[in-house]
């Protein structure tokens, strides 16, 4: 009588042709059932239409048939979730880094805009501050490698220190951990003129080689667009959710819809949409002036089927605080309900380590 254990043992002989590790170790085999002379199992792929799909199916069939040539073998296909894909990528690159053995990050929330200039980084920073004020342990990973602004908002200028197993994130005045390329440059005005692969490797290092420690939330500030950096985060970091940021113009809405399509295609759960810079309040009469025209956010939320987390005004006080490195001193009353909605929509399942 063939057992599940024997089937898994046979499948450990099947090596991924590109990763040079066996399919069981890579988490690609699930739900093995042996019953009445038949074996049914699920082969889980990073993406359902990868070029080597048929080769993998054939290799799996051949490995199982070595146990008994008369076995009926059914190989079902499934696509990895975003978190499974991130763990798969970690394993395929040689396993977790030393820092990951001491890190315990419960939830990773990425902030994405698609289009630059809509205040994405300030929303990411405010989200971190709001969570910290709620008593959460928070870190910020600045994945905007070529346009980093997080350190300046928090008033951080000193390079991070080395710990026993990796880099220690810089710490803000209130205790938020921050890692950004700007903390590693000789001066904050230095340009980062890198091609995609180097940017991607740096983001992976910020995730795997920084000693984040125990965090309730790690906020990831993504760069605008849908290219290498954002793709790397969604492939390599197990995200609990994505917050989209847009501004009132339909042009910004169009571009953020592109970003949403990318997140959906990558299987990253979208928590909702924040509309930033909706209006400015006249200091003399209190009138709300829509400097970028009427809001188009309902068009975007309707088309994408997403909730509106909140609308934020243009506030000169926020700009002043960010320039002075004092975002933690910004009152942000209007942001508290947004953070509350984000926390409510983050899945209760915590991020699983990749080892």
240 and 141 in a common domain = yes
Going by C-alpha positions, the residue among 149, 115, 111, 158 that lies closest to residue 130 is: 111
CA-CA distance, 163 to 161, in Å (whole number)? 7
CA-CA distance, 311 to 338, in Å (whole number)? 9
Q: What is the pLDDT of residues 3-26, one digit of tens each?
A: 999 999 999 999 998 888 899 999
283 and 160 in a common domain = yes
Contact 323, 151 (CB under 8 A): no
**Residue whose pair of structure tokens reads 């040539």 in the numeric block:** 69
Q: How crowded is residue 292: how many other Cβ atoms within 10 Å of its Cβ?
A: 18
- Mean pLDDT in the chain? 91
Of 80, 104, 124, the residue that ends a domain is 80
The terminus-to-terminus CA distance of the chain in angstroms comes to: 32
CA-CA distance, 225 to 196, in Å (whole number)? 13
For the chain, the domain total comes to 2
325 and 259 in a common domain = yes
pLDDT at 352: 64
107 and 65 in a common domain = no
**Residue whose pair of structure tokens reads 């902030």 in the numeric block:** 111
pTM: 0.86
Going by C-alpha positions, the residue among 16, 73, 3, 89 that lies closest to residue 41 is: 73
266 and 193 in a common domain = yes
**pLDDT beyond 50 at 355:** no
Of 25, 53, 80, the residue that ends a domain is 80
197 and 63 in a common domain = no
299 and 188 in a common domain = yes
Q: Is residue 268 part of a domain?
A: yes
Q: What is the pLDDT of residues 48-74, one digit of tens each?
A: 888 899 999 999 999 999 999 899 999
CA-CA distance, 87 to 27, in Å (whole number)? 9
Strands (E), the chain: 29-35, 38-45, 72-79, 104-112, 138-142, 170-171, 177-179, 214-221, 241-246, 270-275, 280-281, 288-289, 308-311
Q: Is residue 211 part of a domain?
A: yes
Q: Is residue 350 part of a domain?
A: no
Q: Is residue 36 part of a domain?
A: yes
Of 45, 80, 115, the residue that ends a domain is 80
Q: Is residue 352 part of a domain?
A: no
Q: What is the CATH number of the domain that holds 36?
A: 3.30.300.130
251 and 133 in a common domain = yes
Residue range of the domain that includes 54: 4-80
Q: Is residue 109 part of a domain?
A: yes
**Longest Cα–Cα distance in the chain:** 85
189 and 328 in a common domain = yes
pLDDT category of residue 224 using cuts at 50, 70 and 90: confident
Q: Is residue 151 part of a domain?
A: yes
101 and 70 in a common domain = no
204 and 139 in a common domain = yes
Q: Is residue 353 part of a domain?
A: no
Quickly list DSSP for 158-195.
SPPPB-SSSBPPEE-TTS-EEE-GGGTSSSTT------
Percent residues over pLDDT 70 in the chain: 99
Q: What is the pLDDT of residues 128-156, one digit of tens each?
A: 999 999 999 999 999 999 889 999 999 99
Q: What is the CATH number of the domain that holds 283?
A: 3.40.50.300
Report residue 323: phi and psi, to 5°: -65, -30
Q: Which of 222-226, 329-333, 338-342 has the highest mean pLDDT?
A: 338-342
CA-CA distance, 185 to 5, in Å (whole number)? 52
149 and 108 in a common domain = yes
CA-CA distance, 158 to 109, in Å (whole number)? 25
């Amino acid at each position: 009588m063939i057992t599940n254990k024997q089937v898994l043992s046979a499948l450990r002989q099947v090596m991924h042709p590109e990763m040079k590790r066996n399919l069981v170790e890579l988490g690609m085999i699930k739900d093995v059932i042996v019953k009445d002379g038949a074996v049914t199992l699920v082969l889980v792929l990073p993406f359902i239409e990868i070029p080597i799909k048929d080769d993998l199916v054939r290799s799996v069939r051949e490995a199982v048939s070595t146990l008994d040539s008369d076995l009926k073998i059914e190989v079902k296909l499934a696509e990895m979730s975003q978190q499974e894909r991130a763990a798969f990528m970690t394993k395929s690159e040689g396993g977790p880094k030393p820092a990951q053995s001491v890190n315990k990050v419960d939830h990773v929330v990425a902030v994405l805009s698609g289009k630059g200039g809509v205040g994405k980084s300030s929303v990411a920073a405010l989200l971190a501050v709001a969570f910290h004020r709620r008593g959460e342990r928070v870190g910020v990973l600045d994945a905007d490698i070529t346009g980093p602004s997080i350190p300046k908002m928090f008033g951080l200028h000193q390079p991070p220190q080395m710990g026993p197993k990796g880099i220690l994130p810089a710490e803000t005045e209130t205790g938020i951990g921050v890692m950004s390329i700007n903390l590693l440059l000789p001066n904050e005005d230095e340009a980062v003129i890198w091609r995609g692969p180097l940017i991607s490797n740096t983001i992976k290092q910020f995730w795997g080689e920084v000693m984040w420690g125990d965090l309730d939330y790690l906020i990831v500030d993504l760069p605008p667009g849908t290219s290498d950096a954002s793709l790397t985060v969604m492939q390599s970091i197990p995200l609990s959710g994505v917050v989209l940021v847009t501004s009132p113009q339909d042009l910004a809405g169009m571009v953020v819809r592109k970003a949403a399509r990318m997140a959906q295609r990558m299987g990253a759960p979208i928590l909702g949409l924040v509309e930033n810079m909706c209006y400015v309040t006249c200091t003399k009469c209190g009138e709300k002036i829509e400097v970028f025209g009427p809001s188009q956010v309902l068009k975007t939320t309707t088309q994408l089927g997403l909730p509106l987390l909140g609308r934020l005004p243009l506030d000169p006080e926020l700009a002043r605080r960010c320039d002075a490195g004092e975002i933690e001193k910004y009152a942000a009353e209007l942001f508290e309900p947004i953070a509350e909605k984000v926390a409510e929509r983050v899945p209760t399942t915590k991020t699983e380590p990749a080892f």
